[in-house]
């Protein structure tokens, strides 16, 4: 509709530009001016018309938008802003856990030290402060979580010891199901090694873990990657590298001048990547039914040991965890769980030119069942066996050892518990050969201790 | 030549059409949320609940299979108000899914959609038991909140999947209509309870009481989450007698001994109410949940 006018206007402008005005007759000029004015008016009308249309459209759009806002308002008006704090307070958690025990044994304190070799085990007649742990955890930002656990201990001389048990970051949202973890942390080997003493189902650490990983469990500085595999069931693969040196890496470069199987350990240093401690774990989780779930894991460790300059240690492990929880359960009760781990160690003792060179072979198993028979109450039974090849009967860390431990735990609430445990020990290295011990344990949690992993 | 090209092209188009149809993966912490999401999302979404309705959602059994579910989720629906505080934060850490972290479009805390009752306006101490300072998290037990939750879910689904926005609105409307039609029936069936004093086992039915007009005057638990003692039960016996309380309402998963004791001492009637979708075999959706609750309470 407007186009003929535009054409005329264009023709007029071109005529005005290219034809000298003097060449035009005056009547023609009047005619042209008249036409120009007409066209101006028409243009003005068209513009007004367009503007009106645009305004109308804008108004309709605005109405629609406000209508939509009204729609959402129905949902957002009852929003209680304070209820969002329910999730935000999980961003930073600080908590203190205290774990204490009292009890006694048929053997003396020196003998107990060999029987209760875990650093957080009740290990003397009388009172033990097993573990006071300050835990700080939170989300650093969109990409990282971080956690630090500080341990306070009172040693045999009554001195207070502070340990940096763990301090590490984990990534939150790497693609392809990947996750990285770095810092100082418990190695993901088996199910029990990563657990902190206050989440243990028994007052003490399994014998085989004390033998292979030392009193404090296997932990060191390093980095690990894990991959959540695209399988139909939960399947995760972990691969890690850690420093092999220190008292928390017992089967590897630990404690010069100490002995293992009669071999004196040297101060061996790490030279290249092949001297690091490598760990791998494959963990699978399957729901067998609505009430039964199963975790199956295989783990391996490879690293240098301090009995020579070229000697290596290899530890393999398998773990199985089954849990039944009643279809109708109150506070997670009743339940039955069964946790078993088997570990096997191959330790090259002495370099190839060492006449005393041998390969030390150790193994151990523990199997524990828990029965949560009513809310807050758990009955447990643990059976253990550990042994080594060769004549090891005088070595408290390598003799044939059996232990049976029934216990009863009462969780007063989520933040405190009482536990009574009886240990029956059979050993070769003690004159008594058997030992009977009774331990009473108390635990409290203050603040919001970082929730534990699955 | 043409046919050689058209085969892979056809395969590609077919794959594309599959990916277009692929539904939004919704994971919920409870079966109630799953039921409402399914009502609103219909065939455009797939829904999985992390916990079954037969269990207390405060105390989920943490299983690695949950990690896999959350890892694949496009939208995670949570009850919030500290309901899942014991197990959801570590799950979100392990699940390595950036889409469903708090604050993202794929994370929806439905306690923001309902007006919460039982908020504490004084400092909360653990000596008070399991107290939820941000309000009582059992808000899905008011059908009016079911509508609010459905609206919030529909809005979020539209945001994630604008192509099917019309379908979500239609399904939302159908769901709201169903509840609005049922609500007067439920109310008239429970008219005899209006204004009556009732005791509950746990502090979890205040929204139901609010919706249907009865009063919860006491709980069997002396403090939330704390098991009753002989002393607390005998105090309750005298209260039941003096206040002439007729009914105890409780979830199926709580122990029955205390209730039986109170029943023997006072002839208090026990109404075991399903608290969630899936708590009983015949409760497959949100409407059936209230049908079942009303069926139990109608006889009281």
pLDDT in tens, A233-248: 999 999 999 999 988 9
Fold of A93-447: Porin (2.40.160)
Residue B65 with chain A: CB contacts under 8 Å: 233-234, 285-287, 293
B84/A90 Cα distance (integer angstroms): 11
The answer on B197 and B63 residing in a single domain is no
Least confident of A74-78, A109-113, A393-397: A74-78
Which A residues 146-205 touch B at CB under 8 Å?
Answer: 170-174, 177-179
Chain A environment of B76 (Cβ under 8 Å): none
Question: Domains of chain A: which residue ranges?
Answer: 3-79, 93-447
pLDDT tens digit sequence for B53-80: 998 888 887 788 899 999 999 999 999 9
Half-sphere exposure of residue A335, counting CA atoms within 13 Å on the CB side? 26
Same domain, B204 and B154: no
B90–A328 CB contact, under 8 Å: no
Q: Which helix (H) or strand (E) holds B129?
A: none
In a domain, B262, yes or no: yes
ipTM: 0.82
Q: A119-161: per-residue pLDDT in tens?
A: 899 989 999 999 999 999 888 887 889 999 999 988 878 899 8
Say whether both B150 and B197 belong to one domain. no
Residue of B27, B51, B57, B63 best to disrupt the A interface, most CBs of A under 10 A: B63
Q: Which residue has the tokens 């959602």?
A: B57
E strands within A172-309?
178-186, 219-228, 234-242, 259-260, 263-264, 277-287, 292-304
Number of domains within chain B: 2
Of B71, B115, B252, which has the smallest distance from its Cβ to A177's Cβ? B71
Query: Both B155 and B250 in a single domain?
Result: no
* Strand B24-28 to B75-78 pairing: parallel
Would residue B113 count as lying in a domain? yes
The answer to whether A224 touches A180, Cβ cutoff 8 Å, is yes
* CATH code, B234: 3.40.50.1980
* Residue A267 to residues A138, A258, A355, B199, Cα–Cα distance (Å): 38, 10, 20, 70
Q: Does B131 touch chain A (CB under 8 A)?
A: no
- Inter-axis angle of helices B286-298 and B165-189, to 10 degrees? 0
B96–A87: do the CB atoms touch at under 8 Å? no
Say how far apart CA A220 and CA A187 lie, in whole Å.
7
Where does a domain end: B181, B206, B230? B181
Query: What token pair was written down for B260?
Result: 């039986």
Compare CB distances from B96 to A84, A172, A452 and report the shortest one's residue.
Answer: A172
Q: Does B61 touch chain A (CB under 8 A)?
A: yes
- Asked if the C-beta of B144 comes within 8 angstroms of chain A's C-beta atoms, the answer is no
For chain B, say whether A437 makes contact (Cβ under 8 Å).
no
Looking at the fold, whether B157 and B266 belong to one and the same domain comes out as no
Interface A:B, Cβ pairs < 8 A = 150
Asked if the Cβ–Cβ distance from A454 to B67 is below 8 Å, we say: yes
Is the residue at B5 inside a domain?
no
pLDDT tens digits, one per residue of B86-141: 889 889 888 999 999 988 999 999 999 999 998 877 776 777 777 777 889 999 99
The beta-strand segments (E) located in A354-449 are 358-374, 377-388, 401-413, 416-426, 434-447
- Alpha-carbon distance of A198 to A412, in angstroms, equals 14
Closest in B71, B111, B151 to A86, CB measured: B111
Residue of chain B with shortest Cα separation from A446? B126
Q: How close A194 comes to chain B (CA, Å)?
A: 15
Q: Is B68 on the interface with A (CB under 8 A)?
A: yes
* A365-374 pLDDT per residue, tens: 999 999 999 8
Q: Does A291 touch chain B (CB under 8 A)?
A: no
The tokens for A407 are 């216990």
Q: Which residues of B touch A237 (CB under 8 A)?
A: none
Q: Which of B152, B181, B210 is the last residue of a domain?
A: B181
Best to test chain A binding among B93, B156, B252 (most A CBs inside 10 Å): B93
A85 touches chain B (CB under 8 A): yes
Q: What is the pLDDT of residue A7?
A: 54
- For A:375-434, CB contacts with B below 8 A are 375-376, 413-415
Contact A170 B97 (CB under 8 A): no
B135 has a chain A CB within 8 A of its CB: yes
Average pLDDT of the residues in A238-262: 92
Interface test with B, best of A64, A72, A73, A86 (most B CBs within 10 A): A86
Selecting from A84, A173, A375 the residue whose C-beta is nearest the C-beta of B227 gives A375
DSSP A79-138: --GGGGHHHHTTSEEEEEEEEEEEEEESS-HHHHHHHS-STTS--SSEEEEEEEEEEEEE
Nearest one of B71, B55, B42, B54 to B153, comparing CA atoms: B42
For B17-53, the DSSP string reads HHHHHPPEEEEESSHHHHHHHHHHHGGGEEEEESS-T
CA distance, residue A197 to nearest chain B CA (Å): 19
Residue predicted with more confidence, B154 or A64: B154
Q: Which residue range is the domain that position B251 belongs to?
A: 186-298
A295 touches chain B (CB under 8 A): yes
Please count the CA atoms within 13 angstroms of the CA of A347 that sit on its side-chain side: 28
| Residue B86 and residue B163 in one domain | yes
Pair (B165, B141) in one structural domain: yes
Among candidates B56, B112, B253 on the partner chain, residue whose Cβ is nearest the Cβ of A79: B112
Query: Which residue in chain B has the smallest CA separation from A452?
Result: B90
Residue scoring higher pLDDT (A328 or A399): A399
Is B66 within 8 Å of A454 when comparing Cβ atoms?
A: yes
CA distance B89 to chain A (A): 7
Inside any domain, residue B236: yes
- Closest chain B CA to residue A78: B115
Residues B177 and B192 in one domain: no
Q: Which residues of B touch A322 (CB under 8 A)?
A: none
Residue A73 in contact with partner chain B when CB distance is under 8 A: no
* pLDDT confidence band for A22 (50 / 70 / 90): very low
Which pLDDT score, from 0 to 100, does residue A2 have? Answer: 45
Lowest mean pLDDT among A27-41, A227-241, A327-341, B135-149: A27-41
In whole angstroms, what is the distance from residue B77 CA to residue B88 CA? 11
User: What pLDDT, on the 0 to 100 scale, is given for residue A453?
Assistant: 44
Residue B176 contacts A where some CB pair is shorter than 8 Å:
no
Q: Which of B137, B162, B181 is the last residue of a domain?
A: B181
Task: Give yes or no for a contact between A437 and A111, defined as CB atoms under 8 angstroms apart.
Answer: no
Output the tens digit of pLDDT for each of chain B's 300 residues. Answer: 455 555 555 555 554 444 445 589 999 999 999 999 999 999 999 999 999 999 888 888 778 889 999 999 999 999 999 889 888 988 988 899 999 998 899 999 999 999 999 887 777 677 777 777 788 999 999 999 999 999 999 999 999 999 999 999 999 999 999 999 999 999 999 999 999 999 999 989 999 999 999 999 999 999 888 889 999 999 999 999 999 999 999 999 888 999 999 999 998 999 999 999 999 999 999 999 999 999 999 987
């Amino acid at each position: 509709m407007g186009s003929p006018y535009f054409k005329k206007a264009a023709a007029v402008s071109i005529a005005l530009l290219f034809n000298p005005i003097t060449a035009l007759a005056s009547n023609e000029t009047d005619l042209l001016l008249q036409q120009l004015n007409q066209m101006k008016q028409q243009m003005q009308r068209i513009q007004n018309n367009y503007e009106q249309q645009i305004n109308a459209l804008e108004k309709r759009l605005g109405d629609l938008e406000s209508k939509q806002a009204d729609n959402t308002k129905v949902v957002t008006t009852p929003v209680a802003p304070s209820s969002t704090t329910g999730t935000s307070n999980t961003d930073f958690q600080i908590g203190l856990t205290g774990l204490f025990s009292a009890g006694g044994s048929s053997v003396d304190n020196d003998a107990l030290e060999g029987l209760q070799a875990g650093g957080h085990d009740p290990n003397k007649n009388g009172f033990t402060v097993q573990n006071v742990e300050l835990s700080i955890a939170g989300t650093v930002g969109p990409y990282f979580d971080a956690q630090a656990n500080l341990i306070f201990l009172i040693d045999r001389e009554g001195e207070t010891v502070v340990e940096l048990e763990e301090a590490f970051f984990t990534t939150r949202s790497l693609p392809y199901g990947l996750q990285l973890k770095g810092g100082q942390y418990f190695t993901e080997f088996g199910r029990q090694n990563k657990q902190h003493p206050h989440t243990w189902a028994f007052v003490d650490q399994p014998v085989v873990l004390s033998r292979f990983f030392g009193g404090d469990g296997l932990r060191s500085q390093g980095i690990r990657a894990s991959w959540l595999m695209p399988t139909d069931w939960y399947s995760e693969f972990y691969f890690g590298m850690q420093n092999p040196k220190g008292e928390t890496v017992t089967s590897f470069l630990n404690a010069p001048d100490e002995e293992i199987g009669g071999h004196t350990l040297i101060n061996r240093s790490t030279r290249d990547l092949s001297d690091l401690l490598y760990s791998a774990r494959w963990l699978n989780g399957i729901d067998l039914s609505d009430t039964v779930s199963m975790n199956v894991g295989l783990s391996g460790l490879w690293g240098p040991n301090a009995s020579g300059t070229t000697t290596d240690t290899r530890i393999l492990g398998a773990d199985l965890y089954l849990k039944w929880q009643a279809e109708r359960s109150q506070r997670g009760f009743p339940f039955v769980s069964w946790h078993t781990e088997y570990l096997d160690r191959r330790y090259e003792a002495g370099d190839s030119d060492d006449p005393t060179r041998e390969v030390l072979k150790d193994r151990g198993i523990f199997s524990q069942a828990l029965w949560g028979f009513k809310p807050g109450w758990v009955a447990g039974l643990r059976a253990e066996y550990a042994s080594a090849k060769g004549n090891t009967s005088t070595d408290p860390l390598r003799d044939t050892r059996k232990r049976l431990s029934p216990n009863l735990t009462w969780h007063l609430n989520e933040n405190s518990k009482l536990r009574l445990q009886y240990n029956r020990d059979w050993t070769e290295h003690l004159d008594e050969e058997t030992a009977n011990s009774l331990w009473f344990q108390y635990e409290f949690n203050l603040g919001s201790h970082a929730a534990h992993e699955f | 030549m043409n046919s050689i090209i058209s085969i892979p092209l056809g395969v590609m188009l077919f794959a594309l059409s599959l990916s277009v149809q692929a539904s939004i993966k919704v994971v919920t912490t409870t079966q109630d949320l799953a039921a409402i999401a399914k009502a609103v999302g219909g065939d455009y979404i797939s829904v999985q609940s992390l916990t079954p309705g037969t269990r207390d959602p405060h105390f989920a059994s943490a299983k690695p299979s949950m990690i896999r579910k959350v890892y694949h989720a496009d939208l995670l629906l949570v009850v919030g108000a500290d309901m899942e505080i014991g197990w959801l934060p570590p799950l979100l850490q392990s699940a390595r899914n950036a889409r469903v972290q708090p604050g993202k479009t794929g994370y929806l805390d439905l306690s923001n959609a309902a007006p919460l009752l039982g908020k504490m306006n004084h400092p909360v101490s653990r000596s008070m038991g399991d107290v939820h300072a941000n309000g009582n998290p059992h808000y899905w037990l008011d059908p009016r909140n079911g509508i609010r939750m459905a609206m919030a879910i529909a809005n979020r689904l539209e945001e994630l999947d604008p192509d099917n926005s019309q379908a979500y609105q239609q399904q939302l409307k159908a769901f709201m209509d169903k509840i609005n039609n049922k609500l007067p029936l439920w109310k008239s069936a429970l008219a005899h309870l209006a204004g009556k004093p009732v005791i509950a086992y746990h502090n979890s039915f205040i929204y139901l009481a609010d919706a249907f007009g009865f009063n919860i005057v006491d709980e069997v638990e002396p403090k939330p989450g704390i098991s009753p003692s002989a002393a607390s039960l005998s105090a309750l016996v005298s209260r039941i007698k003096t206040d002439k309380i007729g009914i105890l309402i409780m979830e199926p998963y709580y122990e029955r001994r205390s209730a039986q004791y109170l029943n023997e001492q006072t002839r208090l009637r026990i109404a075991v109410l399903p608290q969630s979708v899936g708590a009983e075999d015949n409760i497959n959706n949100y409407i059936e949940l209230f049908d079942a609750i009303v069926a139990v309470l109608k006889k009281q």
